[in-house]
Amino acid sequence: MDMIDPFGRAITYLRVSVTDRCDFRCVYCMAENMTFLPRKDLLSLEELDRLCTAFINKGVRKLRLTGGEPLVRKNIMHLVHELSRHLKSGALEELTLTTNGSQLQRFAQELADAGVRRINVSLDTLDPEKFHAITRWGHLDKVLAGIDAALTAGLKIKINAVALRGFNDQEIPDMLRWAHGQGMDMTVIETMPMGEIDTDRTDQYLPLSLLRSQLERQFTLTDIPYKTGGPARYVEIAETGGRLGFITPMTHNFCESCNRVRLTCTGTLYMCLGQEDAADLRAPLRASEGDELLSKAIDEAIARKPKGHDFIIDRLTNRPSVSRHMSVTGG
């Protein structure tokens, strides 16, 4: 049976944050000294499997593992291998993940062996010094080696770059050529006001309409109907032969076609990335061995899915419009 929200949208895409921890501290995402959830609050890998399976039984066809950094969760490959049974049965069309690339050298081949076909790698710059500055703890050479390992393993890769004014906006043409030169798609994302961080977001914000007009000075962009199940709108770039996606939560929200919900590593379900409304699925999950209570809780949550989000970067108070960090909900 399918999950249909109050606005007639079928919910077929579940994003699961398997950990709120990360081995980077990207400046637009986290504060340097983050307080992470106590481990006892986290769902076990078995509980995550049970929850994901309940959603697949209710019509989810695409499952994305996120974080924090999903590959730093202890024994995460056990969960990936368990979930891959749904690919084999045909119940799940796609199992994928979003990663910062730091652990890909270790896990790329195993991910491919488990039936993962494509992954997203978050990467905002190809300049090693700028990379270290924006991630605080990351090393570009390790990420590039991870990307090579993933390509060698046969994984398709999409590079996700957050567009930051005065940081990487001038570099995006070169990143495009690099990504497309290796057969990778690329997506640029507007920075979103989520969670208290140590810098002022209003200075970093770059509307993608502006970026697009800058790109059009040196590239030919053609809108195409290509979709991967998420919110990106794609163009084809004649000069590189590759695809570029735009994710514009600030200047053009894409809520009318929203098909996704987000589950955190503590079992909290967010029906919208840009709203605070949430449902606790951990309590019904742990209350009984059967899934009737859980199923009912999921139905009640989907029935509250909002029409859309209202992100604003508030220049007066400089407060985020959503208080939780992006690393909690998993992008």
Annotated binding-site positions for [4Fe-4S] cluster: 22, 26, 29, 255, 258, 272
pLDDT at site 289: 92
Higher per-residue pLDDT: 125 or 314: 125
How many C-beta neighbours within 10 Å does residue 242 have? 19
Annotated binding site for S-adenosyl-L-methionine: 28, 68, 122, 192
What is the C-alpha to C-alpha distance for residues 100 and 120, in angstroms, rounded to an integer? 8
pLDDT of 328 higher than 70: no
pLDDT at 202: 62
The backbone torsions φ and ψ at residue 293, rounded to the nearest 5 degrees and listed phi first, read: -60, -45
Cβ-defined contacts of 71-78 (< 8 Å, 24+): 71/97, 71/99, 71/102, 71/103, 71/104, 71/106, 71/107, 72/19, 72/21, 72/22, 72/23, 72/103, 73/18, 73/19, 73/21, 73/265, 75/45, 76/18, 76/45, 77/107, 77/110, 77/111, 77/114, 78/45
Full set of structural domains in the chain with CATH:
13-329 (3.20.20.70)
Range in 50-54, 55-59, 160-164, 183-187 the model is least confident about: 160-164
pLDDT in tens, 57-110: 999 999 999 999 999 999 999 999 999 999 999 999 999 999 999 999 999 999
**How are strands ordered across the β-sheet holding 156-163?**
221-224, 233-237, 242-247, 185-190, 156-163, 118-122, 94-99, 62-66, 13-17, 260-263, 268-270, 278-280
Kindly give the pairing relationship between strand 242-247 and strand 233-237: antiparallel
Quote the DSSP letter at residue 271: S
Q: Which secondary structure element, helix H or strand E, spans residue 130, and what is its range?
A: helix 128-135
- Per-residue pLDDT at 257: 83
- In this predicted model, what pLDDT tens digit does every residue of 276-305 receive, in sequence order? 889 999 999 999 999 999 999 999 999 999
Mean predicted confidence (pLDDT) in 41-64: 97
- pLDDT band, very low/low/confident/very high, at 187 (cuts 50, 70, 90): very high
* Lookup result for tokens 């799940």: 92
The token pair at 46 is 């078995």
pLDDT tier at 207, thresholds 50, 70, 90: confident
Residue ranges for the binding site? 15, 22, 26, 28-29, 64, 68, 98, 122, 158, 192, 255, 258, 260-262, 272
Backbone angles phi, psi at 93, to 5 degrees: -85, -35
Residue 242: strand pairing partners? 237
Angle between helices 208-215 and 172-181 (to 10 degrees): 70
Higher pLDDT, 317 or 98: 98
Phi first, then psi, for residue 235 (nearest 5°) are: -125, 160
CB 165 within 8 A of CB 204: yes
In whole angstroms, give the CA distance from residue 203 to residue 196.
15
Residue 120 Cα distances to 147, 156, 217, angstroms: 10, 9, 27
User: For residue 154, is the peptide bond before it cis, meaning its omega torsion is within 30 degrees of 0?
Assistant: no
- For position 317, what pLDDT does the model report? 56
Express as a percent the part of the chain with pLDDT over 90.
74
Question: When comparing pLDDT for 251 and 39, which is higher?
Answer: 39
